[in-house]
Structure formats: C-alpha cells, structure tokens
Amino acid sequence: EVQLVESGGGLVQPGGSLRLSCAASGFTFSGYNMNWVRQSPGKGLEWVSFISDSSTTIYYADSVKGRFTISRDNAKNSLYLQMNSLRDEDTAVYYCGAAFDIWGQGTMVTVSS
Amino acid sequence: QTVVTQEPSLTVSPGGTVTLTCASSTGAVTSGYYPNWFQQKPGQAPRALIYDTNNKHSWTPARFSGSLLGGKAALTLSGVQPEDEADYYCLLYYADARVFGGGTKLTVL
C-alpha cells in the first residue's frame, strides 16, 4: 500500500524547535520530489518547502525561510522538516506530499505558551 | 508576493456543471505553471485530482477535467454528485516556489 506517515508534531513554546518526520512506504521514495504543506486551523493550504529527489534542489516559502530546514534520507525512505524559532502563526497541520500526488494524514503542530 | 486567487465559494445543483478558476497575480496562467487541483473534505488530507493542467490521476473520476480558460487555470465538474461537496485548491508552480490558491468551497444543493 502506498503510504506516507508523518510524526513529530506536538505542543511547543514560541521560539522553540521541533523536527517532523515523514515515513514513506509502498512506492519508490527516491524517485519522487517531496514537499511539506501546512494548514492552519480553519484556513487553506500553504506550501512550505520542496526538496528534489536527490536533495540537489531545495525551496522554501518566504514565511519559513531561515527558520525551517527540509532534508531527506533515501536509504531510510524518510523526509524531515527541522523547525526552529517557532511562532504562533506556525500552528498548523503539517502534511508531507510526494510530488503532490501522494499525501500523508498530517501531524499537528501547536505553538503556544 | 505572489497571490493565487480562486472563487471563495460556488453552489451547484446535483447533475449540473460548474467551473472553478485559478488566477495568478503575475499574469496569465499557462501550462508552464503546471496547474494542479486538489479536493479536500472536512477532517481529511487533500487528494490530488489534476496535474499539469489537464492530466488526471488513476483515481480521478471522469467528471473532473482541467483546462486553461481566459488566462486562468480551470477545473470543470460535469454531472456533479453530492459527494463532490468539498473544498477545492489549485496549485501553481513558480521559479522557486509553489503557491496554493485560497480555495473554493463547493456546495452541492
């Protein structure tokens, strides 16, 4: 079964850090560009970051540039998002997506004191 | 800052046809923006429907189609079913970013 499973979400204080993981199975992970997308409560989708299949190309949304770092380990079929200097407005469900075709169920990140 | 604009809400009758559009603040949307369309129902993850303007995934119902219309990307639903009630998002590719539209809430009534 083709699947993406996110983990690592939780409650963190403003200024804190969190590392999200996304485990892939059922497809050739190393052949896919990957993305992180988030959705704040009651709001629309927001693209966060992109990483190419071989990690040679990386993009970030302006809202997270300099604070978030995307990475992947093709040997472990895993995608990561290191989130530093978290702000209230980073509160959202974070989804990983394989070329926007395959989506995980998301992991909730809450930034609050 | 690039903005992608969709109709906030649309209403369609069962069996009817509706077209959702997706505009870019940078100008006319072309195939070079690789328009994608997604469906999202409450409490669920988004589901991909259309990629690269008009290509359907294996799971996309035949009643969904993508196109370019008047300088915008468009998603047309023909023969709308009650289960099509959902939020729909377009996505456009830019040089070093991807941008989602604000979404269209489609009501089937």
Residue A61 with chain B: CB contacts under 8 Å: 97
| Mean pLDDT, each 10-residue run in order, chain B (109 residues) | 97 98 97 98 97 97 97 98 98 97 98
A103 close to A91: Cβ distance less than 8 angstroms: no
- Contact criterion met (CB < 8 Å) for B57 and A104: no
Instruction: List beta partners, residue B9.
Output: B105
- Contact criterion met (CB < 8 Å) for B1 and A62: yes
What would the two tokens of residue A33 be? 């560009």
Q: How many A-B residue pairs are in contact by the CB < 8 A criterion?
A: 47
According to the model, what pLDDT value does residue B105 have? 98
- Contact criterion met (CB < 8 Å) for A95 and B57: no
Which string of b and e fits A26-36 if b means at least 16 CB within 10 Å?
ebebeebebbb
- Beta strands of B4-103 (E only): which ranges? 4-6, 9-12, 17-24, 36-40, 47-51, 55-56, 64-69, 72-78, 86-94, 97-100
Asked if B108 reaches chain A (Cβ–Cβ under 8 Å), the answer is no
Asked if B40 reaches chain A (Cβ–Cβ under 8 Å), the answer is yes
According to the model, what pLDDT value does residue A49 have? 98
- Contact criterion met (CB < 8 Å) for A95 and B46: yes
What 3-state DSSP class applies to A23? Answer: strand
Query: What's the distance, CA B17 to chain centroid?
Result: 14
Per-residue model confidence as pLDDT tens digits over A56-88: 999 999 999 999 999 999 999 999 999 999 999
Nearest by CB to residue A44, choosing from B45, B47, B103, is B103
